[in-house]
């Protein structure tokens, strides 16, 4: 039987720089595929359908809960997010490794479904830094920022349950660390 792909689950509070980190690592490591999630939130400026997310309406999302289409799903910051079970299985069966950017609730569900998965938590250098980054990013409303900061406190408490924690203080250092973690697991 051919080799099954490996799952790398990455979680972080909003504004910790996870997307930038993941994009850099995906660019650098061949054979690692990004799992494009489904969401009911509206696209942000510059986000592309099928690249950043599959944007769907809530009715469709809920229908797909009923039909067991999600490998995991969760409500995060007031919107629904989910990973297609079919797509994930297909990629893993093709032998490709998969990188998922999902929240702590989804990560928990996926780890029980795929116990061999590697879970990585990206920590901001401080809560203040998170606040600053979210405000600077300018993509979220004041209400959304407040909610994301409130949720960040809960998410950061979950870090201890992850296999690896990387602090994103200096971006290039954090990229190197994430690359190394993934490369070591792939080589094992
Ligand atoms: P954002 O709206 O900033 O893109 O993402 C908000 C949160 O939803 C992030 O913590 C992100 O990791 C999480 N997220 C994105 N896709 C999924 C998914 O498919 N499942 C789960 N559980 N969380 C997701």
Ligand 1 within 6 A of CB of 82: yes
Confidence of residue 135 (pLDDT cuts 50, 70, 90): confident
Give residues with Cβ within 8 angstroms of 120, minimum separation 6: 8, 9, 10, 11, 162, 163, 164, 165, 166, 178, 181
- For the entire predicted model, the pTM comes to 0.93
Residue range 77-125, pLDDT digits in tens: 889 999 999 999 999 999 999 999 999 999 999 999 999 999 999 999 9
Number of the ligand 1 atom closest to the C-alpha atom of 101:
12
pLDDT for res 35:
97
Query: What domains lie within the chain, and their CATH numbers?
Result: 7-187 (3.40.50.300)
Residue with CA at minimum distance from ligand 1 atom 19? 82
Q: d(Cα 9, Cα 103) in Å, to the nearest integer?
A: 9
Task: Indicate if ligand 1 lies below 6 Å from the C-beta of 102.
Answer: yes
Structure tokens at 88: 């994930």
pLDDT band at 139 (very low <50, low <70, confident <90, very high): confident
Residues 5-16 have pLDDT tens digits of: 999 999 999 888
């Amino acid at each position: 039987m051919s080799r099954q792909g490996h799952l790398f689950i990455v979680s972080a509070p909003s504004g910790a720089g996870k997307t930038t980190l993941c994009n850099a690592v995906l660019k650098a490591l061949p054979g690692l595929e990004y799992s494009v999630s489904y969401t009911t939130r509206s696209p942000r400026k510059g986000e592309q359908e099928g690249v950043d997310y599959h944007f769907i309406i809530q009715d469709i999302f809920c229908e797909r809960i009923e039909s067991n289409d999600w490998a995991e799903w969760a409500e995060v910051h007031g919107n629904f997010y989910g990973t297609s079970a079919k797509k994930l299985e297909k990629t893993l069966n093709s032998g490709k490794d998969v990188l998922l950017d999902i929240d702590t609730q989804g990560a928990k569900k996926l780890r029980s479904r795929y116990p061999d998965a590697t879970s990585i938590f990206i920590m901001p250098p401080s809560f203040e830094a998170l606040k600053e980054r979210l405000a600077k990013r300018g993509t979220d409303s004041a209400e959304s920022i407040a909610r994301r900061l409130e949720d960040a406190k809960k998410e950061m408490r979950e870090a201890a349950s992850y296999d690896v924690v990387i602090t994103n203080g200096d971006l290039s250092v954090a990229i190197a660390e994430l690359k190394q973690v993934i490369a070591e697991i792939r080589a094992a």
